[in-house]
Amino acid sequence: MCGIFGCILQKNEASSTIHSGLKMLEYRGYDSVGIATIENGQLTIKKDSGKIDEVHEAHDLDDLPGRLGIGHTRWATHGAPYQVNAHPHTDCKNEIAVVHNGIIENFAELKTELEEFGHKFRSKTDTEIIAHLIEEYVKKGFIFVDAVRETVKRLDGSYAIAVIYTKEPDKIVCVRKESPLVLGIAEDGLYVASDIPAFLSKTNKSVIIEDGELIILSDLGIEIRNISNWQPVIREPETIDWEPEMAEKQGYSHFMLKEIHEQPLRLRNTLRLQDKYLELMTTFLDRAGEVFLVACGTSYHACLAASYLFSKLSFLATHPVIASEFVEQHGKSVNIDSTLLVVSQSGETADTLEAVESARLRAATVLGLTNVVGSTLTRVARVYICQQSGPEIGVAATKTFTCQLSVLAQLAVRLAKKRGKISHVEIEDIEEKLERIPDIVECTIKGQEENVKAIAKKYKGKPAFFFLGRGISSSVALEGKLKLMEISYIPSLAYPAGESKHGPISLIEPGFPVVFVCPQGDTHRSIIGNIMEMKARGASIIAIIEKGDQEIKELADDYVEVDSGLPELLTPIPFSVPLQLFAYYMALERDNDPDKPRNLAKSVTVK
Ligand code: F6R
Q: What is the dihedral of CA 21, 76, 122, 114, to 10 degrees?
A: -100
Helix (H) or strand (E) holding 257: helix 255-261
Say if residue 234 is exposed, middle or buried (CB neighbours under 10 Å; 0-12, 13-18, 19+): exposed
pLDDT in tens, 258-293: 999 999 988 988 887 778 889 999 999 999 999 999
- Does the beta carbon of 371 sit less than 6 angstroms from any atom of ligand 1? no
Domain residue limits, the chain: 3-249, 252-422, 448-606
pLDDT at 308: 98
Q: Is the pLDDT assigned to residue 28 strictly greater than 80?
A: no
| Interval 188-196 mean pLDDT | 94
- Does the beta carbon of 352 sit less than 6 angstroms from any atom of ligand 1? yes
Task: Put the strands of the sheet holding 42-49 in their side by side order.
Answer: 42-49, 32-39, 68-74, 3-9, 189-193, 182-186, 205-208, 238-239
- Does the beta carbon of 375 sit less than 6 angstroms from any atom of ligand 1? no
Of the two residues 242 and 22, the one the predictor is more confident about is 22
Cα separations in angstroms, 604 against 21, 109, 350: 20, 25, 6
Q: Dump the DSSP string for 507-571.
A: G--TT-EEEEEE-SSTTHHHHHHHHHHHHHTTPEEEEEEETT-HHHHHH-SEEEEE-----GGGT
Q: Which atom of ligand 1 is nearest to the CA of 346?
A: 15
CA of 370 to the centre of ligand 1 (A): 11
CA of 344 to the centre of ligand 1 (A): 7
To the nearest whole number, what is the mean pLDDT of the chain?
Answer: 94
CATH number of 252-422: 3.40.50.10490
Band (pLDDT 50/70/90 cuts) for residue 543 is very high
As a whole number of angstroms, the distance between CA 337 and CA 342 comes to 16
| Interval 580-592 mean pLDDT | 97
pLDDT in tens, 352-363: 999 999 999 999
Q: Is the pLDDT assigned to residue 579 strictly greater than 60?
A: yes
pLDDT in tens, 426-446: 999 999 999 999 999 999 999
- Does the beta carbon of 346 sit less than 6 angstroms from any atom of ligand 1? yes
CA of 80 to the centre of ligand 1 (A): 24
Cβ neighbours, 10 Å, residue 200: 24
Which of the listed residues 27, 255, 298, 483 should we mutate to test ligand 1's pocket, taking the one with most ligand atoms within 8 A of CB?
298
- Span of 38-47, 80-89, 310-319, 493-502 with lowest mean pLDDT: 80-89
pLDDT in tens, 76-89: 666 677 899 999 99
Share of the chain above pLDDT 90, in %: 82
CA of 114 to the centre of ligand 1 (A): 37
pTM across the whole model: 0.74
Instruction: Reply yes or no on whether 7 is catalytic.
Output: no
Q: What is the dihedral of CA 55, 56, 60, 63, to 10 degrees?
A: 110
Instruction: Reply yes or no on whether 51 is catalytic.
Output: no
Band (pLDDT 50/70/90 cuts) for residue 197 is confident
As a whole number of angstroms, the distance between CA 341 and CA 410 comes to 14
pLDDT at 351: 96
Residue with CA closest to ligand 1 atom 3: 297
pLDDT at 1: 57
CA of 602 to the centre of ligand 1 (A): 7
pLDDT at 170: 94
pLDDT in tens, 201-215: 899 999 999 999 999
Q: Is the pLDDT assigned to residue 537 strictly greater than 60?
A: yes
As a whole number of angstroms, the distance between CA 393 and CA 383 comes to 26
CATH number of 3-249: 3.60.20.10
- Does the beta carbon of 297 sit less than 6 angstroms from any atom of ligand 1? yes
pLDDT in tens, 135-186: 999 999 999 999 999 999 999 988 999 999 999 999 999 999 978 899 999 9
- 3-state secondary structure (DSSP) of residue 269: helix
Fold classification of 448-606 is Rossmann fold (3.40.50)
The DSSP 8-state label assigned to residue 283 in this structure reads H
Judge if 252-422 and 448-606 fold alike in CATH terms: yes
